[in-house]
Amino acid sequence: MRILVVEDEDAIAEPLVAGLQREGFDVDRAATGAAALDESLRPDLVLLDLRLPDMDGLDVCRALRKRSAVPIIVVTARGEESDRVVGLELGADDYVVKPFGVRELIARIRAVMRRTSARPQDEGPLHVGALVVDARARRAQLAGRELELTPKEFDLLTALASDAGAAISRRRLLEEVWETTWYGSSKTIDVHVASLRRKLGDPGLIETVRGVGFRLHVA
Ligand code: CA
């Protein structure tokens, strides 16, 4: 897997590139926005600093998104909340705030890759028995009945439906739906599963896999 690190400061970029390479990633580095948009680069994921010498990083984000669905993680400094929001609106998949550790970044990269490689909108709605989950429209139906779900309930259902029949660990759900690996937040999953079961009206549809997590029942 090839990562493009877009960062002008050597003091940040060099240890980052080295850390990613140690984890087995292939890494290209671009020190300017123009270099980041070089079409000969074919990254599987872009790590994009928003403060670049030649261009606004948000314009780089917009340009990348216009031509491809490559996963993008934007890097912002503390206090740049509006950049983060705009970055996500422009199609970035996640963000990290400087200073960040390589381990944290790698966890984010893995979570984003899992999420985007299973991007169901690329293949249209997911069908699992009588359940239809349309991630692009953010709509879910059960036997033709529209489900009124909160955003997290929808994401949880999407995570389960994208790998229906498989036992999905709590850890994976936390990473994919809540973007955290903090195990203390595991209780949150139970609350959301309980409300999702209620809304589905069929408690057997989401099965509890003891000691692991949950599984969407496939008839
Ligand atoms: Ca910078």
∠ CA 150-119-213, nearest 5°, is 60
pLDDT at 81: 78
Whether 104 and 17 share a structural domain: yes
Question: How far is 104 from 124, CA to CA, in rounded Å?
Answer: 32
Residue where a domain terminates, one of 83, 117, 151: 117
C-beta separation of 131 from 161 below 8 A = yes
47 CA to centre of ligand 1 in angstroms: 12
Report residue 184's pLDDT band, with 50, 70 and 90 as the boundaries.
Answer: low
214 CA to centre of ligand 1 in angstroms: 42
Quick count: other Cβ atoms within 10 Å of Cβ 115? 20
Whether 12 and 110 share a structural domain: yes
Q: What CATH number is attached to the domain comprising 48? A: 3.40.50.2300
- The tokens of 104 are what? 């944290």
182 CA to centre of ligand 1 in angstroms: 29
Whether 20 and 65 share a structural domain: yes
Residue where a domain terminates, one of 95, 117, 139: 117
DSSP 8-state symbol, 147: P
Whether 146 and 172 share a structural domain: yes
pTM above 0.85, yes or no: no
Percent of the chain residues past pLDDT 90, beyond the cut: 57
79 CA to centre of ligand 1 in angstroms: 15
42 CA to centre of ligand 1 in angstroms: 22
3 CA to centre of ligand 1 in angstroms: 17
Question: How far is 162 from 140, CA to CA, in rounded Å?
Answer: 13
Q: What is the domain count for the chain?
A: 2
Domain extent, residue 206, equals: 126-216
Whether 25 and 56 share a structural domain: yes
pLDDT of residue 181 exceeding 70, the answer is no
Whether 11 and 112 share a structural domain: yes
12 CA to centre of ligand 1 in angstroms: 9
Whether 34 and 133 share a structural domain: no
Q: Is 52 exposed, middle or buried (0-12, 13-18, 19+ CB in 10 A)?
A: buried
Alpha-helical regions (H) of the chain: 10-22, 33-36, 57-67, 81-89, 102-117, 151-161, 170-173, 186-200
Whether 105 and 141 share a structural domain: no
Whether 53 and 86 share a structural domain: yes
pLDDT digits (tens, 9 = 90+) for 77-124: 877 778 888 888 888 888 899 888 888 899 999 889 888 776 544 568
